[in-house]
Amino acid sequence: MAISSNKREIQKKKEQKRKDKQKRKEERKANGSRSLDDMIAYVDENGIFTDTPPNPLLRQEVEAGSIAVSTPKKEDIEETVLTGRVEFFNPDKGYGFIKNTANIDKYFFHVSNAPDNIAEGNMVTFELERGKRGMNAVKIVLKK
């Protein structure tokens, strides 16, 4: 059976890759292995990798009890009151959107979390709570 030119080209490429790999392997052996000191990396107090070891005189002691590893408890978190303007409100369906005045974020709200006399354009204060589809405005109060 005759070998097609495409198969010969593929075989030549494979053989060339094998030769290149062998050549790189021999170069690594000829240069010698690197020492362990060349492979060690240190981390400084800012979290940056360096090749110099840290100065033991500048070391600061940290109490293990002062490190918080978990998320803070809900009562430890301060509730932040945000201000915004009612961008859209549909009284028939009972929902709307509030645009935060500090940035361009818009938050969904349901009529059950808003005063009865809320309308589009009202300035309000509100808090955020995670809902099924993102953050929702709750505890809405009209600003005077």
Give the pLDDT band (50/70/90) at residue 79: low
Give the pLDDT band (50/70/90) at residue 124: very high
Tell me the C-alpha distance between 108 and 132, whole Å.
11
Looking at per-residue confidence, does 137 or 1 come out higher?
137
Contacts of 84 (CB under 8 A, 6+ apart): 98, 99, 100, 101, 107, 123, 124, 125, 126, 137
For residue 52, what are its two tokens? 């110099």
Whole-number pLDDT of residue 74: 67
Whole-number pLDDT of residue 9: 92
Give the pLDDT band (50/70/90) at residue 45: confident
Whole-number pLDDT of residue 76: 62
Q: Where in the chain is the domain with CATH 2.40.50.140?
A: 76-142
Tell me the C-alpha distance between 40 and 112, whole Å.
60
CATH topology of domain 76-142: OB fold (Dihydrolipoamide Acetyltransferase, E2P) (2.40.50)
Question: pLDDT digit string (tens) for 9-43?
Answer: 999 999 999 999 999 999 888 887 667 777 788 88
User: Which of 30-39, 59-68, 104-113, 127-136 is predicted with the least confidence, judged by mean pLDDT?
Assistant: 30-39
Looking at per-residue confidence, does 78 or 47 come out higher?
47
Whole-number pLDDT of residue 75: 66
pLDDT > 90: percent of the chain: 41
Q: Is 83 helix (H, G, I), strand (E, B) or coil?
A: strand
Mean pLDDT of 79-92: 89
